Amino acid sequence: MPDDLAAALSENAAAAAAFDRLDKTGQYALILPLLKATTPETRLARVRKAITKLVENE
| pLDDT tens profile 5-50 | 999 999 999 999 999 999 999 999 999 999 999 999 999 999 999 9
CA angle 21, 27, 28 (to 5 degrees): 160
| pTM, entire model | 0.87
d(CA 38, CA 31): 14
- Cβ count within 10 A of residue 51: 21
Q: For residues 26 and 21, what is the distance between their CA atoms, to the nearest angstrom?
A: 9
pLDDT at 20: 96
